[in-house]
């Protein structure tokens, strides 16, 4: 399923090893080397057989251990040396995963490269909340957006386009830029009482949910979240999650 000299970009899912696809599991068993991100859950890494060489190329906000060009080069070099290469990425490789750089680097030198999808953080978060990301007639649009900051400044976003009351926003890497997100959306016309859910460590035993509203998002992000990866979900569909709060709030109490 993976030949010598080939690269697979494999989605590791949000952290829970049971959310790894069967295909991903087969690929990590057939690999000779696995290059993985910091976001790949420990439970997933534990599934990698001992004989497979494991290389961390982890990046977490602020702590870049290897830059993207170095990662691209490592993948290409390993493939050209005849290894069976798996590049294991958190969630789905095609969503805010820098896949294109790696695909291009491989293709430029003629290294065969393929993709195995994974469960993305937004899906795991809505599953944990017990809600749907879309709602018939209410949330007709689902937008995946990243509010990654560069040098402390949020990259410019089209707030007017994002401030749609009929959409659900799933904001990746949005923790640090929560104040800009709230201000941008409110200034663009989204009501301050629009429901917001913060989900940290989705699918992991440390999963935590925090329900708030758009105008309170900055303070919630600052005070309610820990060190884990967190996704910000905004929109009416997330408000529906609160209707099912009995089960969730009990779980939250237990998890805290
Ligand atoms: N390719 C990944 C996203 C990588 S960007 C995917 O499809 O999920 C990294 C961001 O994803 C984090 O900053 C966070 O916003 C989100 N994220 C990843 N794993 C998460 C998790 N288990 N719980 C909550 N958010 C998560």
Of 194, 255, 202, nearest to 230 (Cα)?
202
221 CA → ligand 1 middle, Å: 15
* Annotation says 153 is catalytic: no
CB of 199 within 6 A of ligand 1: the answer is: yes
The domain segmentation of the chain, as residue ranges, is 6-116, 121-242
- Given the residues 23, 26, 59, 66, select the one marked as catalytic: 59
Pocket lining: 231 vs ligand 1, CB cutoff 6 Å:
yes
Q: In this structure, which topology does domain 121-242 adopt according to CATH?
A: 3.30.950
**Token pair of 235 as six digits:** 């929109």
pTM of the model: 0.92
Known catalytic membership, residue 16: no
- Tell me how far the alpha carbon of residue 179 lies from the centroid of ligand 1, in angstroms: 19
The catalytic residue among 16, 72, 92, 173 is 173
C-alpha 150 to ligand 1 mean position (Å)? 17
Topology at the third CATH level for domain 6-116? Cobalt-precorrin-4 Transmethylase; domain 1 (3.40.1010)
CA–centroid distance, residue 47 to ligand 1 (Å): 20
3 state DSSP class of 59: strand
Give the pLDDT confidence score for residue 64 in this predicted structure: 55
Q: Is the CB of 92 under 6 A from ligand 1?
A: yes
Query: Which amino acid residue places its CA nearest to atom 11 of ligand 1?
Result: 172
Tens-binned pLDDT, residue by residue, of the chain (256 aa): 899 999 999 999 999 999 999 999 999 999 999 999 999 999 999 999 999 999 999 866 455 568 999 999 999 999 999 999 999 999 999 999 999 999 999 999 999 999 999 999 999 999 999 999 999 988 999 999 998 767 667 778 899 999 999 999 999 999 999 999 999 999 999 999 999 999 999 999 999 999 999 999 999 999 988 899 999 999 999 988 776 554 444 344 443 3
pLDDT at position 224: 86
Position 244 scores a pLDDT of: 55
* Ligand 1: centre distance to CA 224 (Å): 17
Q: Which pLDDT value is given to residue 147? A: 87
Cβ–ligand 1 distance for 202 under 6 Å, the answer yes
- Residue 245 is among the residues annotated as catalytic for this protein: no
Beta strands in the chain (DSSP E): 7-11, 33-36, 53-56, 59-60, 63-64, 85-89, 113-116, 141-146, 149-150, 153-154, 167-172, 195-200, 208-213, 230-234
Nearest CA to ligand 1 atom 18: 121
pLDDT value, residue 256: 32
């Amino acid at each position: 399923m993976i030949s010598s000299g080939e690269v697979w970009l494999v989605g590791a899912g949000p952290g829970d090893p049971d959310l790894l696809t069967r295909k991903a599991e087969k690929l990590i068993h057939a690999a000779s080397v696995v290059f993985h991100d910091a976001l790949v859950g420990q439970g997933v890494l534990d599934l990698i057989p001992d004989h497979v060489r494991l290389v961390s190329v982890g990046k977490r906000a602020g702590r870049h251990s290897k830059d993207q060009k170095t990662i691209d080069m490592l993948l290409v070099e390993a493939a050209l040396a005849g290894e069976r290469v798996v590049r294991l990425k958190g969630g789905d490789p095609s969503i805010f995963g820098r896949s294109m750089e790696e695909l291009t680097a491989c293709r430029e030198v003629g290294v065969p490269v393929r993709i195995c999808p994974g469960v993305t953080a937004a899906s795991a978060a809505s599953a944990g909340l017990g809600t749907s990301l879309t709602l018939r007639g209410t949330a007709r649009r689902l937008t995946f957006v990243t509010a990654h900051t560069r040098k402390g400044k949020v990259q410019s976003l089209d707030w007017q386009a994002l401030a749609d009351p009929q959409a659900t926003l799933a904001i990746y890497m949005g923790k640090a830029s929560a104040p800009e997100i709230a201000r941008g959306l409110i200034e663009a016309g989204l009501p301050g009482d629009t429901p917001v859910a913060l989900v940290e460590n989705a699918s992991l035993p440390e999963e935590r949910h925090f329900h708030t509203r758009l105008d309170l998002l900055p303070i919630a992000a600052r005070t309610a979240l820990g060190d884990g990866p967190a996704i910000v979900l905004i929109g009416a569909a997330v408000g529906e999650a609160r209707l099912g709060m009995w089960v969730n709030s009990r779980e939250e109490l237990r998890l805290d």
